[in-house]
Structure 1
């Protein structure tokens, strides 16, 4: 018997405290011009009847990334492998593990941030009694430590829009500068000067590129039709598009 086999033969799992791993997903989209987060209504204790971020325990045969995709698919109805779920930007946010965050046992949660345009009406999956999109400024008193997770997710999203072209993940394949500005305004929660924003976007190399086409959406009556753009090849924005409050020196 080698050393590893001897160790396993004498290993007593009961000598260690029980620990579980879950995933929680901060899924954001823009609906009717407002930044919204996907919430579920818990059907079971703990926190039965409370709103929460979608999530669940990581299964024995999957990793956290796969669990996050599964949970997102269950609540949104998007189908993996058919190009629907693949268009959602999904990234790991942070791990949360304060003692007592879950009254059942010691639970570590790997939180994820998801962005996508025009996500469909959700349908409750798993142990949820309901699921719906809610404006982020109305989402409060969530179960567990989900208020903290949501706050961290929102700050990550708002910061990433400053330094990366992630705003285009909220847009369709083609968009106008006005539509892109509406995304920034919704995520940041701030009004943006149209002319300044237009100038800044076009001054960032690789941020957007023109399609050579114009849009029938949002043009002024009698004025020129707005130009259509698509995401460029930039991975970082230089110069960055800072939030107006940050430009004014407010931190």
Structure 2
């Protein structure tokens, strides 16, 4: 006779933001991790998350556990995948994983939690469970989705310059983009609406743009790759 055990359901979230790390000349994709305070993997870093309550739907659980562990409330939250390998945890646990984007100012404004720290997505410490593979999968999805959607705009304020938008693409794709080609591609895609405002500083004034929220995906041209 085959014995069965209870299967528990957890909800975790991969949260991406941008940050210019000390000594770096470009922004990097970063994410917050939570240091575990009990076994298994006590002391290791892990994705923020928690158990699904019996009377709670998945989206609500993702938002709740994210707020409880990191103090973040992202405007973009999407279900990523279900991870349920038999050997991923000492007990049988299926994790429903979400991913989220938060603007740098939102990440900075979030109330600091004593066991939460932000890490460069390209150089993570050893993580608990299978969370390293989960982060890799989330990064793969982000890099693929940035080529056909406006997901990069989720890491920017309501109004931004083309240079700021290009920096987001460069951080996600991990390579430099030619400024002239980038400008031509985004202008041809019609995903941006120019405003009458300019950002001034040490360089010549740069026009501010905002996303064209009324544009349907089918009407867009190719986005930077």
In the other structure, the counterpart of 2:82 is 95
> How far, CA to CA, are the matches of 1:155 and 1:101 in structure 2?
21
In the other structure, the counterpart of 2:208 is 228
From 20, 23, 39, the equivalent of 1:45 is: 39
2:141 aligned with 1:145? no
Deviations 1:69-113 (A, max 9, x none): 0121123324xxxxxx3x52100000000001111x211100011
2:98 aligned with 1:112? yes
Give the Å deviation of 1:122. 5.6
Is the Cα–Cα contact under 8 Å of residues 75 and 123 in structure 1 kept in the other structure?
A: no
From 119, 133, 139, the equivalent of 1:154 is: 139
From 177, 180, 198, the equivalent of 2:162 is: 177
Is the Cα–Cα contact under 8 Å of residues 122 and 131 in structure 1 kept in the other structure?
A: no
2:115 aligned with 1:130? yes
> How far, CA to CA, are the matches of 1:112 and 1:160 in structure 2?
15
Give the Å deviation of 1:232. 0.7
Is the Cα–Cα contact under 8 Å of residues 195 and 210 in structure 2 kept in the other structure?
A: yes
Is the Cα–Cα contact under 8 Å of residues 15 and 31 in structure 2 kept in the other structure?
A: yes
2:5 aligned with 1:17? yes
Summarize the Cα distance change of 1:149–1:101 in structure 2 as closer, same or farther, 3 Å threshold.
same
Deviations 1:166-200 (A, max 9, x none): 11110001000000000111111111111110111
> How far, CA to CA, are the matches of 1:145 and 1:61 in structure 2?
27
Normalized against structure 2, the TM-score is what?
Answer: 0.88
Pairs within 5 Å for 1:177-216: 177-205=162-190, 207-216=191-200
> How far, CA to CA, are the matches of 1:76 and 1:216 in structure 2?
34
Summarize the Cα distance change of 1:145–1:71 in structure 2 as closer, same or farther, 3 Å threshold.
same
> How far, CA to CA, are the matches of 2:11 and 2:69 in structure 1?
14
Question: 5+ residue gaps in structure 1?
Answer: 1-14, 79-84, 244-251
Larger radius of gyration: 1
> How far, CA to CA, are the matches of 2:171 and 2:48 in structure 1?
22
**Paired residues, number:** 212
